[in-house]
Structure 1
Amino acid sequence: MASMDIFNSDAFHTVSLTTALEKIPYKPQFLNELNIFEPVPTNTRSIAIEKRDGFMQLIPTSQIGAPPTQLQDDKRDIRNFSTRRWAKSFTLYAEQINGIRQFGTETELMQVQAEAARRLSRLKDDFDLTAEYARLGALQGKWLDSDGSVLIDWFAEWGITPNTDVAFAFSSSSINVNDLCKKIARGMARAAKGGFTSSTSVHALVGDSFFDALVKHPSVELTYQNWQAAEGLRATQATVFDAFYFGGIYFHNYRGTDDKSTVAIGDNAAVFFPVGVRDLFQTAYGPAEFDPWINTFGQEQYALTIPDRDRNAWTKFEIYSYPLFICSRPEVLYTGTAS
């Protein structure tokens, strides 16, 4: 019969547990699958971020023998930001494993491992959901805490005024949706300067009502019908409600949490962002505050066990993460509203 001594085995040591945590199947999340947030492991929880405004200049003609025009240095701004701490735990009590016995080819250790893994998987789902929420905020130039409070406003940090919200008056049949899309894409490209390359694409996460109004608009409807008829073009169908390319923009009907509030896009809202702009979105990971991870490069998540040393009545499992979700160029971001 299993006892609390089972948690003294190598399978439940902190390093082994953290490695096992990384093997838990990842719950699919659209923003994670877009792969636009570059992971940046660091060995400190204080991160220096440099914003450099590079620009190009025309070179004036000059007389032979005249001194060349001096290259002007880029404007640079370096700020320090700190990673934040996410932590959550559960407790496995002795009475909860009291009835576990060896069964068939499964040892008691294997069965307790399975129960611990099941609960760890639930914790990991919460961490993954929180990361998706943070990424969604970063696409809007902010890092938000779980209660909606602003941890970092990247517009304010860099002294940038957010772009004016673009009105999509779908109720009017006379508006040219393609022109609105081109306006956003061109403004984004100009703001990104040299960061916008031939491989860069523009994407939008939109709410249900926005998407429905978009594809039903007279200037869009025929294109959407042709898009639907073409097989194999909508590769993201499995992770979003629907997707559609129009006016140089990939529109994704974003599916957040089923309550449409915890992680969600407003029904009539749209968030526009580029994919393929170098270093635009990053996630820095600081090291854990415990041995054996002090002064090591950060990992996405850490797991450890805390035994009840007084009564041996329980073992606590804890997961920690020390992320910083970065938007280095919020001036390229746009929002829209359907009406």
Structure 2
Amino acid sequence: MPSLDIFRGDAFHMDTLSHTVNQMPRLETKLAAMNLFAQNGIRTTEMWIERQQGDLSLVQTRPRGAPSQQMRGDDRDALKFKVPHASLESTIYPDEVQDVRRFGSDNEMQSVQEVVNARMTKMRRHIDATTEHMRVGALKGQIRDADGSIIHDLHDEFATSPTKASFQFSDPAAKIRQSCLGVSRTIEDELGEEGHSGITAICGPMFFDALIDHPDVREAYARWQDGEALRNDPRAGFQFAGIEFVEYRAKTNGKNYLDPDDCLAFPRGTSLFIERYAPADWIGATNTIGAPVYARMAVDPEFERWAKVHVQSNPLPLAVRPSIVTHIEMA
């Protein structure tokens, strides 16, 4: 049986090392950085969302002393959601460490623990990318798996319709500012009594470029750049007409989480975006509060010929009122 000695070769042995390059793919986690989704662990692999629906109506006046208008209680229901399970395993063999120098050094040997830590770090990045992909899906209204299949269709499960808007970038005379105000008003109408701390829109690069190049926006963007260029990248948050537009370029294996010409606008500071974590599928984690990520290592019990690394997460990000997210299309 051939050896799984993937690191054999002169390049990995002791020698003069002139330069090191750690080529890690770009990991986009802007939604995680925004803390948009309130995170908590749960003790079960399923979660329930309880809804209470009440309508606001005017009260008809009556003569004093007449019977009062009767008011009924609010309708309540509960929806059940299965929490997805994502896990990775990797086996490390002695030949991957034996006679191999430490990365970036020409006179130190690599330790098994270093290989384990590096492998876990790489696996954690895959898990983080997976969770971020689910967050974008929650904003879109469809949480999809890696193969494109639908895990949860939020509009179907919450019985809502997608909220859409269109920006007429093809028309130089279009009033984009008015379109932005329309998006804000739509979101606030969908929120009802729920307050918010601001509205953000994540945009694919094509949408973002069309936005800042439109005549109605160009001057405002130039002014924004004058002040912002000294501090940050304006693509990280350009304020226009009450909306913060953020360029969003997350992708995995060449597949975009958000299409280049898409834009999703949503309110911040609400209780309507949640992220729940179920326990790991280990005996010791049964019925405990779920953690964002679990990791452990198992060693060959007979001859210590291998060490197996396991990393998993059981996340479910949800927009519990999917209609508060407005999908803005280019036109």
| Aligned twin of 1:16 | none
Query: Would you say 1:253 and 2:253 are equivalent positions?
Result: no
- Kindly indicate whether the alpha-carbon contact (under 8 Å) linking 1:234 and 1:243 is maintained by their aligned counterparts in 2: no
Using the TM superposition, give the Cα deviation of residue 321 of structure 1 relative to its aligned residue in structure 2, in angstroms: 1.2
Name the amino acid aligned to 1:273.
F
Using the TM superposition, give the Cα deviation of residue 217 of structure 1 relative to its aligned residue in structure 2, in angstroms: 1.1
Change (3 A) 1:241 1:179: closer
| Aligned twin of 2:219 | 222
Q: Give, in whole Å, the separation in 2 of the partners of 1:62 and 1:247.
A: 44
Q: Secondary structure at the match of 1:180?
A: helix
Query: Would you say 1:264 and 2:264 are equivalent positions?
Result: no
Q: Give, in whole Å, the separation in 2 of the partners of 1:207 and 1:306.
A: 42
Counting only pairs closer than 5 Å after superposition, residues 1-339 of structure 1 correspond to structure 2 as 29-99=29-99, 111-164=111-164, 166-195=165-194, 197=195, 199-231=196-228, 237=233, 241-257=235-251, 261-278=254-271, 280-339=272-331
Using the TM superposition, give the Cα deviation of residue 52 of structure 1 relative to its aligned residue in structure 2, in angstroms: 2.2
Change (3 A) 1:291 1:277: same
- Kindly indicate whether the alpha-carbon contact (under 8 Å) linking 1:132 and 1:263 is maintained by their aligned counterparts in 2: no
Deviates further, 43-52 or 68-77: 68-77
Using the TM superposition, give the Cα deviation of residue 71 of structure 1 relative to its aligned residue in structure 2, in angstroms: 3.6
Name the amino acid aligned to 2:213.
K
- Kindly indicate whether the alpha-carbon contact (under 8 Å) linking 1:281 and 1:327 is maintained by their aligned counterparts in 2: yes
| Structure 1: 5+ residue stretches without partners | 1-26, 102-106
| Aligned twin of 2:18 | none
Q: Give, in whole Å, the separation in 1 of the partners of 2:228 and 2:88.
A: 44
**1:69-97 alpha-carbon deviations (Å, 9 max, x no partner):** 44432222211111111010111112334
> What is the TM-score with the length of structure 1 in the denominator?
0.81
Change (3 A) 1:213 1:274: same
> What is the TM-score with the length of structure 2 in the denominator?
0.83
Percent of residue pairs identical: 29
Q: CA RMSD in A?
A: 2.7
Q: Give, in whole Å, the separation in 2 of the partners of 1:183 and 1:204.
A: 14
Name the amino acid aligned to 1:224.
Y
| Structure 2: 5+ residue stretches without partners | 1-26, 102-107
Q: Give, in whole Å, the separation in 1 of the partners of 2:94 and 2:252.
A: 35
Change (3 A) 1:170 1:145: same
Using the TM superposition, give the Cα deviation of residue 66 of structure 1 relative to its aligned residue in structure 2, in angstroms: 4.5
